[in-house]
Amino acid sequence: LSCPMSWAIFAAHFCAGWAVNMFVTFLPMFVHDRFGMDLTKTGAIVCVMWLAEVVVEQGAGAYVDKKIQAGYGRGFMRKVVQCMVFLPQAVMIVACSYCSNGTLVVCLLIMAVALQGLNASGYGANFFDIAPSNAGVLFGISNTMATLSGIAAPALTGYILGKEDGTFTQWRTVFWIDASILIGGAMVFVVAASGELQPELDRCGSLDDEAGAFPHSTKYGSTEIASKANA
């Protein structure tokens, strides 16, 4: 937990969880309160947004892998992809609060949810970059912290909106806070994340390597060894 690279992932994971709560719960509430549209009765819209996320996730994964194989740094690609998630989502959330067209808000919602698919190629893959032997343990800690967003987001939003249907100004405040959290998560990830193996996180080893005796390059291969083998 003393490694800044792990906290970069934790921050991104928390923000991604916050975004999910926003897109799944609060934006549909906003659309209902502001425009009288009930998305729960429109199954096609709900299906489209999650299908779009799957398509983006698969396509982005293949694209990022090709870029890394072409020589782009892992850390660089993880940071670029994560910014491509959080920054556009922040803009879309704020745009929703100033939009007077319900159909446009729904379109923004679909695009924002689709961008969630990029998380798998951002912080999601970064677990294996910095600690492949202990990626599962690291993910467990990260997922626990990210779960806190499911507690904090509804509590904060409910406090701002009050017991009655939220006013337009209150909703705008909620969206600006959400956008600020996403931007903050992107900044933390860009500053602290890394695509390189972190020995202090990986040295604990696995069940088959109790003391972490085998170096990372032996177990998982390395660019240096691959280059010498091909020489």
Q: What is the pLDDT of residues 109-146, one digit of tens each?
A: 889 999 999 999 999 999 999 988 888 889 999 999 99
pTM more than 0.85: no
Greater model confidence, 90 or 41: 90
Report pLDDT digits (tens) over 65-85: 999 999 999 999 999 999 999
CB neighbour burial string for 185-203, b if at least 16 within 10 angstroms, e if fewer: bbebbbebbbbebbeebbb
- The amino acid that residue 41 corresponds to is K
Return the pLDDT at 78: 95
83-112 average pLDDT score: 90
203-226 average pLDDT score: 43
Angle made by CA atoms 224, 124, 74, in degrees to the nearest 5 = 30
pLDDT over 80 at 224, yes or no: no
Return the pLDDT at 198: 83
Report pLDDT digits (tens) over 157-204: 888 888 666 678 888 899 999 999 999 999 999 999 998 888 877 665
- The amino acid that residue 99 corresponds to is C
